[in-house]
Structure 1
Amino acid sequence: MQPFSTAPPAAPVTGGLADSLFDRASREPGLPLLSRRAGDGGPWTQVSAAEVRDEVVGLAKGLVTSGIRPGARVAIMARTRYEWTVLCLALWTVGAEVVPVHPASSRDQVEWILGDAGCVGVVVEDEQGAMTVGSVCGRLPRLRHVWQLDDGALPRLAEGGALLPGSAVDSLRRIVPPDSPAVIAYTSGTSGRPKGCVLTHRGLAAPCDTLLAGWGHTTAPPGEQPSVLAFLPFSHVYGLMVQGICLRGGLLMGHEPEPREDALAADLLTFRPTFVFAVPSVFEKLYKNMLGRAREAGRGTLFERAVRTAQDHAAAVERQRLGRGHGPGPELRLQHAFYERTVYRRLRAALGGRVCGAVSGGSPLSRETTLFFSGIGIPVHDGYGLTETGGGVTAQPVGREKAGTVGRPLPGTEIRVAEDGEILVRGPSVFRGYAGDEGATRAAFRDGWLATGDIGRFDAEGYLSITGRKKDVVVTSGGRSVAPAPLEERLRMHPLVHQAVVVGDDRPCVGALITLDPDFVAHWRRARSGRGGRRERDEREELEENALRREVRRAVAAANSTVSRAESIRVFRVLPQPFDTAGGLLTPSMKLRRDVIVRRYAEEIDAMYAASPRAAREPLPDASASWDDADDVFRPAR
């Protein structure tokens, strides 16, 4: 195994997670802590720490009056909105445990989570959520309360507890021990039933406090209060960590419940955050939209040159800070200064004009994308964590960031890479186990270390790179093992490619299912559009389809250039629709449900391989070596 020592841990955590709000309200009662808006597109209204505390106390009193006691489990099934945060704090104040449920969960998923966790109450967002819970509540004997946010449930809850003295809830808050459960966070369920991870107050607070201590000063310019627009789902541990960092660090937090691209773009302009927490798909989408708009405006060539300059400049700066070079030369500095005036500042303005940094999590962010954003003045730091670790366990060292890695272990956390490449973690944020599943809990640990199921490697300087999931490795019929993540990441770097799933288990070679980015395809078509009669239009459409095929082939060729010939993609198929959560092909945290995708598209995968006469031949041990070119299977799925 490869061990890497870490710095001493942060100060010990005492009490429950709600204490940070009450401490903040006592020390800085007027500090803006949350920002909310009335209706879509309305102005933002700041809510002070004292005002948030008073609202939380009112809700906590209502919860106690309703029979919610310490240790009771209450689910929150809502989008990322203001009420989520105040309700979560109220539940922690009385010692209850929060069970996050994604609002788009199916009826079966809701029944499973509420029943498995033993929830006594659930907060839904709207009538649709109430109907989903109502359809299964007959099979949930412990469920006694269903509160609906959009039906005025919270004001009524506070009204019901108005006569209870505040000292009653304050005494409950003060006896919440740091090692008691705070959240039962269910895994994304990419394989099998979701499992409930028992995360304690200490475990959730530890990574937040460590990041604030070492990295908090990077979230805003000196003298400014940091601000974060929360749009990641709080049903996922990454979203909970963002909420925790804001509450414990005094960062102003706004909520964006609608993750649509247009809604997020509008809120970035009006809220004007200083820091962004997102997943790789958001950064990839931002880049593609910038490129698409530039091409439509006839400035595509200028933008692409600006991109290359940004990446070259960021790479040179990285070499300098890592002691490997002298930084950007005079010519590169001049080019970068020119594009700063003409391109980069406009790109930053589209994000509100105040963003000074960002964090990407959930899955690895490509080095090229990281360098692009760093080069335009928005350093994006990639990190690593999972539900079982209560959030992040690695981060980029300040002033020693290395693109293409997820950084180094957080102080107080130990990480090892086993002989088979699996990442093992030990530290204060690691979960207590899976709720009600001792067998799964025992299987998750190896000699006291959490076996993450992720494959990775450390470089000589202690930076960790994630290469994929252990269970996702594709094994061809010739015995070749291929990690799909690097190929998929490289495919997504092409502006036209939205998603990619590498397949090939028990097949003669590696293949891929590809979906196109509908927005960028529209940009691409408009940039190529012209006038003419019907015949000219028909000819143009045929030319466009041929050009589209060539672009996808280029994307596949670029991905293949990063791996050996035997590991390269030899067949692919472009699907007509992206994978989404509504169809059950993505988890709420936007991860691919590979097993479900492979089953759903089994006929298309069979047809993809059958389309090539070479695939029908009985493979030799290294059959892929006889595949000269990637097969062009560019037909819509049936």
Structure 2
Amino acid sequence: MREFSLPALYEVPADGNLTDIVRRNAAQHPDVAVISRRTGGGWRDVSARDFLAEVHAAAKGLIAAGVEPGDRVALMSRTRYEWTLLDFAIWSAGAVTVPVYETSSPEQVRWILGDSGATACVVESAQHAAVVESVREALPALKHVWQIDAGAVEELGRLGQGVTDETVEERGSVAKADDPATIVYTSGTTGRPKGCVLTHRSFFAECGNVVERLRPLFRTGECSVLLFLPLAHVFGRLVQVAPMLAPIKLGCLPDIKNLTDELASFRPTLILGVPRVFEKVYNSARAKAQADGKGRIFDRAADTAIAYSRALDAPAGPSLGLRIKHKVFDKLVYGKLRAVLGGRGEYAISGGAPLGERLGHFFRGIGFTVLEGYGLTESCAATAFNPWDRQKIGTVGQPLPGSVVRIADDGEVLLHGEHLFKEYWNNPEATAEALADGWFHTGDIGTLDEDGYLRITGRKKEILVTAGGKNVAPAVIEDRIRAHALVAECMVVGDGRPFVGALVTLDEEFLARWCADHGKPAGSTPETLREDPDLLAAIQSAVDDGNAAVSKAESVRRFRVLPGQFTEESGHLTPSLKLKRNIVARDYSADIEAIYAK
């Protein structure tokens, strides 16, 4: 057993809550732009004073509508200015925010709103409103649904005109540090998302210590960050709250289709994203270079950047020849890449999935250091991250100051600290299992080096994490696909990949009947039919049924029919007929690669 900790750099307020942040900013930095909203003509800054006023106006509307202290209010929207405004307004009304992915299926919406007992819900669009309406009969506690695109913020403002400033100040002080701030639903292996209760203390401990450890990246009046991650994800909430706590300017971007253009427009000094963002920057730059006939130059520049970064970790540093090559490519290539990332920043923070050493060295080599971190919903986002001045590429960094990381005898990563979640909502059994002996059991396998840098080497639990940072519970969709008569087994794949895929085996007994019904030759086998259009259409219908139970980000986009079977004899199933996922992934690696081939 090995453990490592760092002293806390931030003192969590003994009795405060997150509304203290916006009140403090308005008092101490009234004219500082703390948030910026996307408009048709560009970006419009909002000062700390004005943001507080808008938060209080929306909070008054919630209070007038009957939202009580401790009530749960759901938010289903893309990342946008109103999300952050309403999040702080919900807290200012003394209530608890329940985020819902804007891509969630009706089944997921029904479960999250029903399990949390949400009394109100704010959605973004008419489409979202229709999803909520389709399950509203199953939600007796739900009293109000407001729609952002239909003027929800303005409606709340009008509704709250009779509520006094004293009332909203009083409400904003009701919640204490150990009271719930949000319930974030995270995928579970049983298929039902668990409501992870994060307190105001959790966010203070998390965001306060991140800001202080990375203080040069959070300089008030100088630094800014562009938020484009989904706010239903705990990493997105970190990106929202930490800049407010610093404070630095936060830009809210709802649409990332033209992310590079938006980066050039907003020009953030710091980017927080998932590995897929940085992969896209690299891949897009390389593709453009090849299209322009400069592919060889780009590849040489990339190799030079990686070699230069690796040499920075060596005692002697980069050689003279490498420094000269690096300087030449800085003018030809690296400067242009930094401009694509906004032109002002030198650092980024990556989380949600593994970044990969090659990509880490590439970005540091071009002068844009990506600091990799690691965390879970239960740890309020980052529980470890690389410090700006002592990075170790290939690790996920040192523990959050004020917390402890322990490696158990079986290699599992255990966590302890004020940033951890309080409980799973309405699920004491799962809470007791996860927080055994006062330590949170992550289900991940890792190692700690002599300096306390953590490496994640595997996963005990079966949750997949896509390259975009989306947690996917395989059982949810596998069970639905497996219910089709033609399907014998299904294994969802996608860990570290851009999207979710699936390996499918056929039920050989039913296959013979299906062949007779569809005019296929007698004696046809899975191997002879695996590319048959009619068979693929039938399997696609099974996949479509499975996709109906999950969000778009979790849905299977491509599948591969396998020629054989998963059996105990083949080594792919346990005696209790559970999939040996690592063995299947190894034996069918070529089929998995075929799913993701261009």
What TM-score does the superposition give when structure 2 sets the normalisation length?
A: 0.81
The one-letter code matched in structure 1 to 2:278 is: F
The one-letter code matched in structure 1 to 2:562 is: D
Shift of 1:167: 1.0
Secondary structure in 1 aligned to 2:341? coil
Relative to 1, partners in 2 of residues 1:187 and 1:178: Cα closer, same or farther, differing over 3 Å? same
Aligned residue number for residue 480 of structure 1: none
- Shift >4 Å, 4+ stretches: 510-518, 582-588, 615-620, 627-637
Aligned pair 1:303/2:298, yes or no?
A: yes
Shift of 1:633: 9.2
Shift of 1:242: 0.5
Aligned residue number for residue 450 of structure 2: 460
| CA distance in structure 2 between the aligned counterparts of 1:269 and 1:619, rounded to whole angstroms | 52
Relative to 1, partners in 2 of residues 1:442 and 1:214: Cα closer, same or farther, differing over 3 Å? same
Aligned pair 1:279/2:235, yes or no?
A: no
| CA distance in structure 2 between the aligned counterparts of 1:515 and 1:53, rounded to whole angstroms | 39
Secondary structure in 1 aligned to 2:422? coil
Shift of 1:451: 0.4
| CA distance in structure 1 between the aligned counterparts of 2:246 and 2:193, rounded to whole angstroms | 31
* Structure showing greater relative contact order (alpha-carbon pairs closer than 8 Å, 6 or more residues apart): 2
Deviates more, 1:295-304 or 1:459-468: 459-468
Deviations 1:391-444 (Å, cap 9, x if unpaired)? Answer: 211121332110010001111100111122111001001111101111111111
Secondary structure in 2 aligned to 1:453? strand
Aligned residue number for residue 513 of structure 2: none
Aligned residue number for residue 518 of structure 2: none
Aligned residue number for residue 7 of structure 2: 7
Aligned residue number for residue 17 of structure 1: 18
Aligned residue number for residue 206 of structure 1: 205
Aligned residue number for residue 517 of structure 2: none
Secondary structure in 1 aligned to 2:562? helix
| CA distance in structure 2 between the aligned counterparts of 1:583 and 1:163, rounded to whole angstroms | 46
Secondary structure in 2 aligned to 1:208? helix
Deviations 1:527-564 (Å, cap 9, x if unpaired)? Answer: xxxxxxxxxxxxxxxxxxxxxxxxxxxxxxxxxxxxxx
Relative to 1, partners in 2 of residues 1:55 and 1:276: Cα closer, same or farther, differing over 3 Å? same
Aligned pair 1:266/2:261, yes or no?
A: yes
The one-letter code matched in structure 2 to 1:6 is: L
Shift of 1:584: 6.8
Aligned residue number for residue 571 of structure 1: none
Aligned residue number for residue 460 of structure 2: 470
Q: Which runs of 5+ in 2 are unaligned?
A: 479-490, 500-538, 573-582
Relative to 1, partners in 2 of residues 1:288 and 1:191: Cα closer, same or farther, differing over 3 Å? farther
**Which structure 2 residues correspond to residues 95-114 of structure 1 after superposition, within 5 A?**
95-114=94-113
Aligned pair 1:360/2:316, yes or no?
A: no
**Which structure 2 residues correspond to residues 156-171 of structure 1 after superposition, within 5 A?**
156-171=155-170
| CA distance in structure 1 between the aligned counterparts of 2:594 and 2:209, rounded to whole angstroms | 50
| CA distance in structure 2 between the aligned counterparts of 1:362 and 1:515, rounded to whole angstroms | 10
Asked if 1 retains the 8 angstrom alpha-carbon contact of 2:218 and 2:247, the reply is: no
Relative to 1, partners in 2 of residues 1:191 and 1:303: Cα closer, same or farther, differing over 3 Å? farther
Aligned residue number for residue 318 of structure 2: 328
**Which structure 2 residues correspond to residues 388-407 of structure 1 after superposition, within 5 A?**
388-407=378-397
Aligned residue number for residue 580 of structure 2: none
Aligned residue number for residue 242 of structure 1: 239
Shift of 1:44: 0.8
Secondary structure in 1 aligned to 2:85? helix
| CA distance in structure 1 between the aligned counterparts of 2:442 and 2:592, rounded to whole angstroms | 36
The one-letter code matched in structure 2 to 1:128 is: Q
| CA distance in structure 2 between the aligned counterparts of 1:438 and 1:513, rounded to whole angstroms | 31
Aligned pair 1:232/2:210, yes or no?
A: no
Shift of 1:617: 9.7
Relative to 1, partners in 2 of residues 1:450 and 1:512: Cα closer, same or farther, differing over 3 Å? closer
Aligned residue number for residue 120 of structure 1: 119
Aligned pair 1:148/2:138, yes or no?
A: no
The one-letter code matched in structure 1 to 2:4 is: F
Asked if 2 retains the 8 angstrom alpha-carbon contact of 1:36 and 1:46, the reply is: yes
Deviations 1:142-166 (Å, cap 9, x if unpaired)? Answer: 0000001111121111111112211
Equivalenced residues, count: 524
Relative to 1, partners in 2 of residues 1:267 and 1:166: Cα closer, same or farther, differing over 3 Å? same
Secondary structure in 2 aligned to 1:293? helix
Deviations 1:374-401 (Å, cap 9, x if unpaired)? Answer: 1111100001111011121112133211
Aligned residue number for residue 531 of structure 2: none
| CA distance in structure 2 between the aligned counterparts of 1:139 and 1:202, rounded to whole angstroms | 33
Deviates more, 1:396-405 or 1:233-242: 396-405
The one-letter code matched in structure 2 to 1:347 is: L
Shift of 1:462: 1.8
Aligned residue number for residue 481 of structure 2: none
Shift of 1:583: 4.3
Aligned residue number for residue 408 of structure 2: 418
| CA distance in structure 2 between the aligned counterparts of 1:619 and 1:419, rounded to whole angstroms | 27
Secondary structure in 1 aligned to 2:383? strand
| CA distance in structure 1 between the aligned counterparts of 2:204 and 2:3, rounded to whole angstroms | 25
Deviations 1:26-84 (Å, cap 9, x if unpaired)? Answer: 11110001111323xx2211110000011111111111111111101000000100000
Aligned residue number for residue 251 of structure 1: 248
Deviations 1:336-392 (Å, cap 9, x if unpaired)? Answer: 000001100001111221122100000121011011011111100001111011121
Asked if 2 retains the 8 angstrom alpha-carbon contact of 1:188 and 1:587, the reply is: no
| CA distance in structure 2 between the aligned counterparts of 1:634 and 1:30, rounded to whole angstroms | 53
Deviations 1:289-316 (Å, cap 9, x if unpaired)? Answer: 1111111111111101111111111111
Asked if 1 retains the 8 angstrom alpha-carbon contact of 2:372 and 2:385, the reply is: yes
Shift of 1:189: 4.1
Asked if 2 retains the 8 angstrom alpha-carbon contact of 1:303 and 1:343, the reply is: yes
Shift of 1:6: 2.0
| CA distance in structure 2 between the aligned counterparts of 1:49 and 1:63, rounded to whole angstroms | 21
Relative to 1, partners in 2 of residues 1:329 and 1:82: Cα closer, same or farther, differing over 3 Å? same
Shift of 1:250: 1.2
Asked if 1 retains the 8 angstrom alpha-carbon contact of 2:375 and 2:384, the reply is: yes
Asked if 2 retains the 8 angstrom alpha-carbon contact of 1:64 and 1:94, the reply is: yes
Secondary structure in 2 aligned to 1:30? coil
Shift of 1:3: 1.3
Asked if 2 retains the 8 angstrom alpha-carbon contact of 1:125 and 1:148, the reply is: yes
The one-letter code matched in structure 2 to 1:10 is: Y
Aligned residue number for residue 439 of structure 2: 449
Q: Which runs of 5+ in 1 are unaligned?
A: 320-324, 474-483, 493-498, 504-509, 519-574
Relative to 1, partners in 2 of residues 1:408 and 1:259: Cα closer, same or farther, differing over 3 Å? same
Relative to 1, partners in 2 of residues 1:423 and 1:633: Cα closer, same or farther, differing over 3 Å? closer
| CA distance in structure 1 between the aligned counterparts of 2:593 and 2:401, rounded to whole angstroms | 49
Shift of 1:468: 2.6
Secondary structure in 1 aligned to 2:55? helix
Aligned residue number for residue 183 of structure 1: 182
| CA distance in structure 1 between the aligned counterparts of 2:456 and 2:134, rounded to whole angstroms | 41
| CA distance in structure 2 between the aligned counterparts of 1:616 and 1:15, rounded to whole angstroms | 56
The alignment yields a C-alpha RMSD, in angstroms, of 3.5
Aligned residue number for residue 438 of structure 1: 428
Aligned residue number for residue 606 of structure 1: 562
Aligned residue number for residue 361 of structure 2: 371
